[in-house]
Amino acid sequence: MLKEDEENLYCLALTQIPKIGPVTARNIIAYAGGAKKVFDLKAKQLQKIPRIGRILSKNISDSKSLKWAENQLKSAAKRNIKVLSFLGNDYPTKLKNIHDAPIILFAKGNLNPLVQKKTIGIVGTRRPSHYGISQTKELIAQSAQDNFAIVSGLAFGIDSLAHRAACEINLPNYAVLGHGIDQIYPKEHLQLSKKIASCGALISEFPIGQKPAKEHFPMRNRIIAGLSDAVVVVESGIKGGSLITAKFANQYHRDVFAVPGPINASQSKGCNNLIRSNLAHIYTNINDICYHLGIEKDKSIQQKISFDFSNSQQKIISLLEKNNFLAIDDLQTKLNEGHTNVFSDLLSLELKGIIRQLPGKKFTLS
């Protein structure tokens, strides 16, 4: 057995020992100098480790967890599921530095883009409005243009919408599950999960055969946050799992964004509250994320699009590249043009899909 496979085996065995979570497991492994070495220690040596008493040391010495881990590795191999320990090179770097990250991950698919690209976690309500649906689709389209990968949770609503939209354009996306990879929940997303595995990957800290449980999903949410460079809450009520993801993301020093919505809309109350409480940046378009992540966009919109623009239209595009959005009166002042001419140019650009109108007669690049 290769050393990395051996460490996977012993890390996996540790996850099945009662009262040993990710943080304690890391401490034990660090003390012993390796996962295998933990099981080589005698009971008296184990009891010298902080928070490891007589019962825990006895549980570690029990061979049942090792036999279970061997069966898990065999089952994973049959299903083409990768088993990654935090000690290995294939474990996602973004997650490795999180203090409570799982010591073992199961993955099915291609993890390379997750390492090579900047990632956006997209989360939200299970019952999105038409506004939330359109914002999610637009966020996915813009993410593709700027070479991001997507992370979400395969739930009903915003999560599955983000996955579907990403799969439609073959954008790498990653579904973090609250159960074993062989136990897709909800069942309606079985075909979607197969598409995700073909253009990204399914990821879980839960072993093969583990069924979904209510307490698993907050644990799943911390992994979404840990794998993301930025997290966007598209729509959320005043309470919800997406707000838990945002909380973890803030704890992990990730950039958190929220899509603002109508003040009376129940689906937007959570997002508006995140912005009001300074727990999230306001999200208007992908440029907000690029700015906070320090990504410089070296090509102007005019270089990317094959349309021919008039001089006045080019000036509008240049102004909107420098600003997140501008009101029509501001554009008229900066351009020193009449209202009719500016409105005509804006209408033309909007019909071409170059810009879009926001509430209050404000305009931004699409």
Sheet holding 355-358, edge to edge: 326-327, 362-365, 355-358
Question: Is 274 within 8 Å of 280 (Cβ atoms)?
Answer: yes
Taking the CA of residue 259 as centre, how many other CA atoms within 13 Å lie in the half-sphere pointing to its CB?
30
Topology of the domain covering 3-78: DNA polymerase; domain 1 (1.10.150)
pLDDT of 64-103, one tens digit each? 889 999 999 999 999 999 999 999 889 999 999 899 999 9
CA separation, residue 264 to residues 120, 258, 272 (Å): 27, 16, 10
Question: Residue 320 has what pLDDT?
Answer: 87
- Token pair 């995140």: residue: 274
Axis crossing angle, helix 311-322 with helix 328-335, rounded to the nearest 10 = 120
Average pLDDT (322-342) is 80
The residue behind tokens 């184990």 is 46
Q: What is the pLDDT of residue 165?
A: 96
Note whether 199 and 167 are within 8 A (CB). yes
Q: Are strands 104-109 and 201-204 parallel, antiparallel or unpaired?
A: antiparallel
Q: Identify the pLDDT of residue 297.
A: 66
**So what's the pLDDT on residue 40?**
85
> Is the per-residue pLDDT at 161 higher than 90?
yes
**Contact of 104 with 84, CB cutoff 8 Å:** yes
Give how far Cα 325 sits from Cα of 84, 95, 131, 322, 358, Å: 44, 34, 18, 9, 8
pLDDT tens-digit profile of 206-240? 999 999 999 999 999 999 999 999 999 999 999 99
Residue-wise pLDDT for 8-64, tens only, equals: 999 999 999 888 899 989 988 998 889 998 888 887 888 878 777 777 777 777 778
pLDDT tens, 113-152? Answer: 998 999 999 999 999 999 999 999 999 999 998 999 999 9
Domains 3-78 and 112-293 share a fold: no
pLDDT at 363 over 80: yes
**Cα-flanking dihedrals φ and ψ of residue 186, to 5°?**
-70, 155
- DSSP type of residue 258: E
For the record, the structure tokens of 336 come out as: 């020193």
The domain locations on the chain are: 3-78, 112-293, 301-365
CA distance 196 to 71: 26
Tell me what percent of the residues of the chain surpass a pLDDT of 70: 95
CATH class of 301-365: mainly alpha
- Domain 112-293: state its class: alpha beta
What whole-number distance in Å separates Cα of residue 121 and Cα of residue 237? 18
Q: What is the per-residue DSSP string for 266-334?
A: GGGHHHHHHHHTTSSEE-SSHHHHHHHHT----S-HHHH------HHHHHHHHHHHHSS-EEHHHHHHH
Q: How confident is the model at residue 2, as a pLDDT? A: 53
Task: Name the residue with tokens 């940046």.
Answer: 281
